[in-house]
A and B are shown apart, each in its own frame.
Chain A
Amino acid sequence: MSNAAQILPPLAERHTLLGWARKNLFNTWGNALLTLLTGWLVLWSGRALLVWAFTAAEWGVIAANLRLILLGQYPIANVWRLWVSLQLLAFLVGNSLAIWGRNVRRISLALAAAPLLLALLPFGLQPRLWLAGLTFFGIVGWALGRPAGPRQRRIVLLGWAIWPFIFILLLRGLTPPEGRLPLVPTNLWGGLLLTFLLTVVGIVFSFPLGVLLALGRRSRLGAVRWFSIFYIEVIRGVPLITILFMAQLMLPLFLPSGLTIDRVLRAMVGITLFSAAYLAENVRGGLQAIPTGQFEAAYAVGLNGLQTMGLIILPQALRLVIPILVGQFIALYKDTALVAIVGLLDLLGIAKTVLAQPEFLGLQREVYAFISMLYWVFSYAMSYVSQRLEVSLGVGKR
């Protein structure tokens, strides 16, 4: 590339599309052939897809079932609770971007604009107001985060730590049906909401468990170490679906007679136990990367074992593996689709029930394409934002 910059092509080829194409796409016979082949492939598949999406596909099934796909059977009277937790999230995101995201302006703008764009879709007034609220609170968070001091940061981090619990609490509710926050039983949770919930719960609870397992695997106590190794390797050696089946069919047997936990919780247990083993291995990678000098220095200044681990080693190790952990959590989000096989009505499960409705039979392509797109959009957005943040923060590097 640097050579090409020095020897400028003839003026005619320099800034024209044709010139660029001749230099990059048709410079040799082989390359020209390759270009034509790929070009044909792209055009042919792209055209087929567009023709299908705009002429053949019957998207009515999505419009008629949008609420079911997004929220499952979550009672409409209680949807405001979901919105409130989303407003909190928007506030946190705005605040965090103001503090740490100085170099990712474009993403911030896109995030702020996204709810407004969604509001253009034919929703009712209320969802539109809520969507606008997301932008509003995001901007408020952004404004408040501008003069960020260390204290502000601590508060935001604390906010991130407690948000999942507020989210779960709000969704689930506290009081009997007459009260202010009526309980919504888990069998009504479904669709994208349930997928998100399973992911959030999986992340939040597998994190401490995974860190403990990683520490246990490096413990000098044989019993602890061998148990950790056994657990991690067994879980990593089997597919998630077997763990979910175990959670669904065997967990009720392990509990004392009379105690039951419902299916959504059982799936959460399975996902958490599974995710923890992978997380432990990733954290262990971070721990191994910490030079022994750090341990020695910590001892030298008089810290005991617990202090060394908690104040010196673990913070560095976790910081190192943040990119990997983000990747793992995205994978977890995609993996939650497996709960549909054990009969939960998550995004995939609800897609199956939509396809059972008499008027929408045989529309597999439309429904599955739509939910694939939902998975794709969130997964891609998460990985894109995290990559940009990593670059701007320099995490993952020491």
Chain B
Amino acid sequence: MQSAETQTAAIPIWRDERYLNLLGQAIFAVVILAAGYYLYRNMEAGLRRQGTTLGFGFIQGTSGFDIAETLFEYSRSSTFWQAFQVGLLNTLLVSVVGILFSTILGVILGVARLAANPLVRWLATGYLELMRNLSLLVFLVFWYLGVFLKLPKIKEAVIWPGPTFLTNRGIAIPWGVPTETFPAYRLILALGVLAAILIAAALHARGRRTGKPPLTILWAGASFVVVVVLGWFALPAAPLAWDLPYPEGLRIAGGKIFTPEFMALVSGLVLYTAAFIGEVVRAGIQAVSRGQVEAARAIGLTGFQTLRLVIFPQALRVIIPPLTSQYLNLAKNSSLAIAIGYPDVFYVSNTILNQSGRAVEMITLVMLTYLLFSLITSAFMNWYNRRIQLVER
């Protein structure tokens, strides 16, 4: 904002831009620090009036409450800190599953928006316009109360083949439980990964030698599947046994039960985020100019090759940055779980806050958690982005 006039020795110190700059910064810093200190003092005084002081010591105290969904052993006699970790893992679970499925649905939507079939195109467009103009929170609440809780009651459960139980207590599906051969099977899984990496490297080397772009993902994936399937039957007993759900007393026992809260949150986030990802994908595909396609055809690439070698890599470059922010939005939006009672990190922290009265500490902790999450995700996506940019140039 300063004009860059040339300095001369004659300029007195109070008009010397360097000093003015320094002075400006100093004043600014002092004002900010003073404001911060003032607010901190107010807070300290306020807390003292309430008879508390800041500190994270309380977090080792007994939580006293139960949590519905935990990925590890947790009870009312666990600590607040363990409760927080339960929430953190739940948030990660929702984010990862949500990102996975919203990407799949988003790509389908993006492609459908450009489909030749007008009916498909209209449907995709209509869906997009519907979703993008809804308020996510209102949609989630509606989705949970109006759809998932209106599923059949537990006694009238709809049973699909499998068996899969569809009730408003959750959706129970058969699930594999490890048997005694499972540790050995882990080795085979590792072997499969190793085989995939080796094949990928070999293909890559050959591709570089011959100039023919290899179908790395296909062959590496196939080799992994082959090793894993062969290993399954090679073991004396199957490493996983089916655990089938069955009604027992007040609940459905066995199998894996996805609660309506989890299902509503994940599917709601997926349906909403996919609409935005669909737009990102469409824009990415449209950003590749027609000339590219025509040129690819001209040098004799097939349709699939054009897609794989010309359109896709270029579209990806355009897609990655906005896609990153959509992923981050999904992760942050998962905090709306509080409205439908899924114990994510924000909801659990809110419970801790209420039961311990530690508002300042818990809000700070939650904000730091999300901040860290955002930083890690964007760091990873930046790295990935840089990688694909380099490879293609």
Partner-B contacts on A (CB < 8 A) = 24-25, 31, 34-35, 38-39, 41-42, 215, 219-224, 227, 234, 236-242, 245-246, 249-250, 252-257, 299, 304-306, 308-309, 330, 334-335, 337-338, 340-341, 347-348, 364-365, 368-369, 371-372, 375-376, 379-380, 383
Residue B382, interface by CB 8 Å: no
Cα A306 to Cα B4 with chains together (Å): 12
Looking at the assembled complex, report how far the CB atom of B341 sits from the nearest CB atom of chain A, in whole angstroms.
Answer: 12
Within B1-52, the residues touching A (CB, 8 Å) are 1-4, 21, 24-26, 28-29, 32, 39, 42-43, 45-47, 49
- A224-B25, A309-B1, A375-B133 known; A242-B346 Cβ under 8 A: yes
Q: Which residues of B contact A347 (CB under 8 A)?
A: 138
5 tightest CB-CB pairs across the interface, nearest first?
Answer: A368-B142, A379-B133, A237-B374, A223-B25, A239-B332
Interface string of B178-212 (1 = CB under 8 A from A): 00000000000000000000000000000000000
Looking at the assembled complex, report how far the CB atom of B360 sits from the nearest CB atom of chain A, in whole angstroms.
Answer: 6
Let me know if A372 and B117 touch, CB within 8 A: no
Looking at the assembled complex, report how far the CB atom of B15 sits from the nearest CB atom of chain A, in whole angstroms.
Answer: 13
Looking at the assembled complex, report how far the CB atom of B361 sits from the nearest CB atom of chain A, in whole angstroms.
Answer: 10
Let me know if A221 and B370 touch, CB within 8 A: no
Residue B244, interface by CB 8 Å: no
Question: Quick one: which of A299, A335, A383 contacts B135, CB cutoff 8 A?
Answer: A335
Q: Which residues of B contact A305 (CB under 8 A)?
A: 1-3
Let me know if A223 and B28 touch, CB within 8 A: yes
Q: Which residues of B contact A31 (CB under 8 A)?
A: 116-117
- A38-B120, A341-B338, A376-B134 known; A242-B145 Cβ under 8 A: no
Residue B79, interface by CB 8 Å: no
Let me know if B133 and A368 touch, CB within 8 A: no
Let me know if B130 and A221 touch, CB within 8 A: no
Looking at the assembled complex, report how far the CB atom of B206 sits from the nearest CB atom of chain A, in whole angstroms.
Answer: 34
Let me know if A337 and B119 touch, CB within 8 A: no
Q: Which residues of B contact A234 (CB under 8 A)?
A: 367, 371
Q: Which residues of A contact B142 (CB under 8 A)?
A: 364-365, 368-369, 372
Residue B350, interface by CB 8 Å: yes
Interface residues on B, range: 35 or more
**Given contacts A239-B346, A341-B338, A380-B129, could you give 7 more A-B pairs where the C-beta distance is less than 8 Å?**
A24-B118, A38-B119, A223-B32, A237-B374, A238-B366, A238-B370, A253-B43
Q: Which residues of A contact B26 (CB under 8 A)?
A: 223
Interface string of B114-138 (1 = CB under 8 A from A): 0111111001000001100111111
Interface string of B319-359 (1 = CB under 8 A from A): 00000000000001101101100000010001001000001
Cα A188 to Cα B364 with chains together (Å): 31
Cα A331 to Cα B325 with chains together (Å): 15
Cα A222 to Cα B28 with chains together (Å): 10
Residue on B nearest A31 in the bound complex, by CB: B117
Q: Which residues of A contact B123 (CB under 8 A)?
A: 38, 41-42
Cα A367 to Cα B43 with chains together (Å): 41
Let me know if B46 and A257 touch, CB within 8 A: yes
- A221-B28, A257-B49 known; A299-B4 Cβ under 8 A: yes
Question: Quick one: which of B135, B146, B367 contacts A238, CB cutoff 8 A?
Answer: B367
Q: Which residues of B contact A341 (CB under 8 A)?
A: 137, 336, 338-339
Let me know if B118 and A25 touch, CB within 8 A: yes
Cα A249 to Cα B120 with chains together (Å): 48
Looking at the assembled complex, report how far the CB atom of A177 sits from the nearest CB atom of chain B, in whole angstroms.
Answer: 32
Let me know if B335 and A242 touch, CB within 8 A: yes
Cα A41 to Cα B36 with chains together (Å): 57
Cα A24 to Cα B32 with chains together (Å): 64
Q: Which residues of A contact B29 (CB under 8 A)?
A: 223
Q: Which residues of B contact A369 (CB under 8 A)?
A: 142, 146
Question: Quick one: which of A34, A246, A334, A368 contacts B145, CB cutoff 8 A?
Answer: A368
Residue on B nearest A30 in the bound complex, by CB: B117
18 sampled A-B residue pairs with Cβ under 8 A: A34-B117, A38-B117, A215-B1, A237-B371, A238-B370, A239-B333, A241-B336, A250-B360, A257-B45, A257-B49, A306-B1, A334-B133, A334-B134, A337-B136, A338-B336, A365-B146, A372-B142, A375-B134
Q: Which residues of A contact B338 (CB under 8 A)?
A: 241, 341
Q: Which residues of A contact B4 (CB under 8 A)?
A: 299
Cα A248 to Cα B353 with chains together (Å): 13
Looking at the assembled complex, report how far the CB atom of B286 sits from the nearest CB atom of chain A, in whole angstroms.
Answer: 16
Q: Which residues of B contact A237 (CB under 8 A)?
A: 370-371, 374-375
Cα A347 to Cα B137 with chains together (Å): 11
- A254-B43, A348-B137, A379-B133 known; A241-B1 Cβ under 8 A: no
Let me know if A224 and B130 touch, CB within 8 A: no
Let me know if B42 and A256 touch, CB within 8 A: yes
Cα A53 to Cα B313 with chains together (Å): 46
Let me know if A219 and B133 touch, CB within 8 A: no
Looking at the assembled complex, report how far the CB atom of A326 sits from the nearest CB atom of chain B, in whole angstroms.
Answer: 13
Residue on B nearest A246 in the bound complex, by CB: B363
Q: Which residues of B contact A238 (CB under 8 A)?
A: 332, 366-367, 370-371, 374
Let me know if B120 and A34 touch, CB within 8 A: yes
Q: Which residues of A contact B3 (CB under 8 A)?
A: 299, 304-305, 308
